[in-house]
Amino acid sequence: MPRGMEVATEASAGGRQSARERILETAYELFSRHGTRAVGVDRIIAECGIAKMTLYRNFPSKDDLILAFLDRREQLWTRAWLQAEAERRGATPAQRLLAIFDTFEGWFAREDFEGCSFINVMLEVGDFEDPVRQASVRYLEHIRAFVSSLAEQAGIQDPDGFARQWHILMKGSIVSAAEGDLEAAARARQMGALLLEHHGVATT
């Protein structure tokens, strides 16, 4: 998703961003581009131009900031961009499912393509009980739930099973794009069309 659209600025009555919003916006940019492990609190503070105590007053720990970042990512990446684009581009549930990969195609071609933050953060945290990892898994589940709802609308008998298959195509295409395959979205779309046809859903 174009990062210029990503961070909606929350202004105070005087028209200036709150300190919390400035911190979150800066963290969003850095975490999206470089990952949460590679970006330290000191870098966020330096780029924000705020005092360390101001950061910790708004986010008591780095994990709290990461959780806020993931929540913002779902709002802006999953809902305001991916879901909105799929619904805008497709007139039927099947078309909306395939439109996910049409949307990915432009994203993959961007020079600042950053991959899926939910996948990236999940893989950075090895502890299955860690709240940050659990949040990443939960946000991935929300994406799968969106796919499942489209599958149900398309009349697929096992929408959850289908959504898991479709999500594998989505995640696989993102990883392939990160490897440098600019045709990853088109390849995933072709496989998606075959999967829909296998389930008896017309794609035209």
Domain range for residue 126?
3-198
Q: Provide the domain count of the chain.
A: 1
- Say which CATH number the domain at 12 has: 1.10.357.10
Tell me if 203 is assigned to some domain.
Answer: no
> What is the C-alpha to C-alpha distance for residues 47 and 34, in angstroms, rounded to an integer?
14
* Residue ranges in the chain modelled with pLDDT below 50: 1-15
Tell me if 204 is assigned to some domain.
Answer: no
Evaluate if pTM is beyond 0.75.
Answer: yes
Rg over CA atoms, the chain: 18
Tell me if 164 is assigned to some domain.
Answer: yes
What is the per-residue pLDDT for 124? Answer: 94
What is the per-residue pLDDT for 203? Answer: 87
What is the per-residue pLDDT for 80? Answer: 97
